[in-house]
Amino acid sequence: MPATKSIYTCQNCGFQSPKWMGKCTSCGEWNTFVEEIIEKKKSAAKVAARHLGNQPITLENIQAAKTQRIVAGIKEFDRVLGGGIVPGSLILLGGDPGIGKSTLALQLALKLNKQKILYTSGEESLQQIKLRAERLNNSNNNCLFLSETSLENLLAHSEQIQPDVLIIDSIQTISTENIESSPGSVSQVRECTSAILKFAKKSGVAVVLIGHINKEGSIAGPKVLEHIVDTVLQFEGDTNYMYRILRSNKNRFGSTNELGIFEMRSDGLREITNPSEQLISKVSDDVSGTAIAATIEGIRPILIEIQALVSSAAYGTPQRSSTGFDLRRLNMLLAVLEKRAGFKLIQKDVFLNIAGGLKINDPATDLAVICSILSSNIDIPIDHKICFAGEVGLTGEIRAVNRIEQRIAEAAKLGFKKIIIPSLNKGFDTSGFGIDIVKTSRVEEVFRSIFG
């Protein structure tokens, strides 16, 4: 009998230790070590030199083959991947429970009606998949469904069917007989993913893996899992809102700056081709405390509505609350208004919200944030045909932002009459946009141009 021993593996970074530790010395996380029982295998005989396998060659002798991407038919999904699915690639799709990962994967399988698809589920029965497909109101005769949790059986079916795309929901439910630990453990996830990667590269089958995420929001399992796959997609959003965002955290075959926006409906996910029109309210009456920001998500310009509410503090300590915007940056902007612009907000509650449930990290939204806060404070509405794009510095200056031409073009396309941008953005023709462009360098100038 081969000897067995225990080893402890960090679930966050994959670091291994012969004994349990409270804090991982590699990534610094606490309570992430899980015990694994492994077998000591007898050392194999040395392989002769003639069995070395592939031989090293020069760059000129490598044949560069052009691969034809598989167009999924879901434009937002294809956009994030860089034009479609690359044959032989391994794609990892992660997201919160109930966010719509399985729905997106099933819609993908039913849309690919020109390719042979194998959809494998270890979490749902075939009857549950049938009910979900009926709700989506779509069908595909080239898609085969399998309910399986054994890696060996899954690979055997895949070799027999030879599909163009293999979808696995989810990798945490798949287990191999070579590892004694339970499904979902670090060793099982690592070994199953490595075996699936080997199969994908050897056969040219594109594989889409659905992965769980932990409470911190990252892909469950060791970080080595994200290094194994070719593409890591993050499906995020608030379950209380209907919008979902698909981001690319890693992509060996495309850019990581793209993102796709979906709307969750009763009949599945619907693509949002023009998110700016969806995220801006159609209220005609001017209301104080709202401002429109021209932001960039990836390389796509989006106009979003920022809502602010400033009121007298009912308790001793004023509240600072933010939804979809960094709270620390909000506190910084409030300090700039207090110090540089002379507005006394220290005894007032400030609440900030990004309409639509989006989370924005673009610093160009700073100008719209401070304008919405000031509008709510003095209870004077901002003209709903004005939008803003600019980063606010600690000295009160308006700093330049990137892709300013795309922001202006998006605002002009949606019918805005005026856009306020930093004066430091230069080098482009302002006459061809059909919108009044106002350049400012200080926050005081912005307030004077809006409120007089």
* Sign of the torsion formed by the C-alpha atoms of 371, 372, 378 and 379: positive
The token duo for 217 is 């929001």
When pLDDT is averaged across residues 281-304 and rounded to a whole number, the result is: 82
- Strands 268-271 and 290-297, by their bridges, are unpaired
32 — pLDDT class (breaks 50, 70, 90): confident
Q: Is 101 annotated as a binding residue?
A: yes
- Under 8 Å between Cβ of 13 and 27: yes
**Cβ neighbourhood burial of 106 (10 Å; 0-12, 13-18, 19+):** buried
- Domain 68-273 and domain 277-451 have a common topology: no
Is the predicted pLDDT of residue 341 greater than 60, yes or no?
A: yes
Q: What b/e readout covers 290-318, taking b as 16+ CB neighbours within 10 angstroms?
A: bbbbbbbbbebbbbbbbbbbbeeeeeeeb
Instruction: Return d(Cα 437, Cα 420) in angstroms, integer.
Output: 6
pLDDT, residue 217, reads 57
Instruction: Return d(Cα 202, Cα 415) in angstroms, integer.
Output: 52
pLDDT, residue 220, reads 55
When pLDDT is averaged across residues 194-203 and rounded to a whole number, the result is: 94
What are 220-255's pLDDT values in tens digits? 555 668 888 999 999 988 766 788 889 898 999 988
pLDDT, residue 181, reads 75
Is the predicted pLDDT of residue 126 greater than 80, yes or no?
A: yes
Instruction: Return d(Cα 189, Cα 222) in angstroms, integer.
Output: 9
DSSP E strand stretches across 98-192? 117-121, 143-147, 165-169
Q: What average pLDDT does the chain have? A: 86
Q: Is 184 annotated as a binding residue?
A: no
pLDDT, residue 41, reads 53
Is the predicted pLDDT of residue 297 greater than 90, yes or no?
A: no
91 — pLDDT class (breaks 50, 70, 90): very high
Instruction: Return d(Cα 143, Cα 116) in angstroms, integer.
Output: 6
In CATH terms, 277-451 corresponds, of 1.10.340.30, 3.30.230.10, 3.80.10.10, 3.30.930.10, to 3.30.230.10
pLDDT, residue 121, reads 93
What are 348-360's pLDDT values in tens digits? 999 999 987 788 8
pLDDT, residue 116, reads 94
Q: Is 97 annotated as a binding residue?
A: yes
- Looking at residue 264, the DSSP 8-state letter turns out to be E
When pLDDT is averaged across residues 77-97 and rounded to a whole number, the result is: 91
pLDDT, residue 303, reads 92
pLDDT, residue 350, reads 94
- Give the angle subtended at the CA of 230 by the CAs of 229 and 233, to the nearest 5°: 85
User: Whole-model pTM?
Assistant: 0.77
What is the percent of the chain where pLDDT is above 70? Answer: 91
When pLDDT is averaged across residues 43-63 and rounded to a whole number, the result is: 67
Residue 151 vs residue 317, higher pLDDT: 151
Q: Is 426 annotated as a binding residue?
A: no
Residue 5 vs residue 409, higher pLDDT: 409
48 — pLDDT class (breaks 50, 70, 90): very low
pLDDT, residue 167, reads 96
Coil, strand or helix at 287:
coil
**Cβ neighbourhood burial of 334 (10 Å; 0-12, 13-18, 19+):** buried
The token duo for 421 is 């941008």
47 — pLDDT class (breaks 50, 70, 90): very low
- Under 8 Å between Cβ of 172 and 212: yes
Residue 42 vs residue 20, higher pLDDT: 20
Q: Is 183 annotated as a binding residue?
A: no
- Under 8 Å between Cβ of 347 and 375: no
pLDDT, residue 219, reads 61
Domains of the chain: which residue ranges? 4-39, 68-273, 277-451
Q: Which of 3-7, 126-130, 418-422 has the lowest mean pLDDT?
A: 3-7
Q: How far is CA 449 from CA 221, 366, 444, 445, in A?
A: 53, 17, 9, 6
Q: Is 94 annotated as a binding residue?
A: no
Residues 6 or more apart whose CB falls under 8 angstroms from that of 45 comprise none
When pLDDT is averaged across residues 171-186 and rounded to a whole number, the result is: 84
CATH superfamily, with its number, for domain 68-273: P-loop containing nucleotide triphosphate hydrolases (3.40.50.300)
Roughly what angle, to the nearest 10 degrees, separates helices 101-111 and 126-136?
70
**Cβ neighbourhood burial of 108 (10 Å; 0-12, 13-18, 19+):** buried
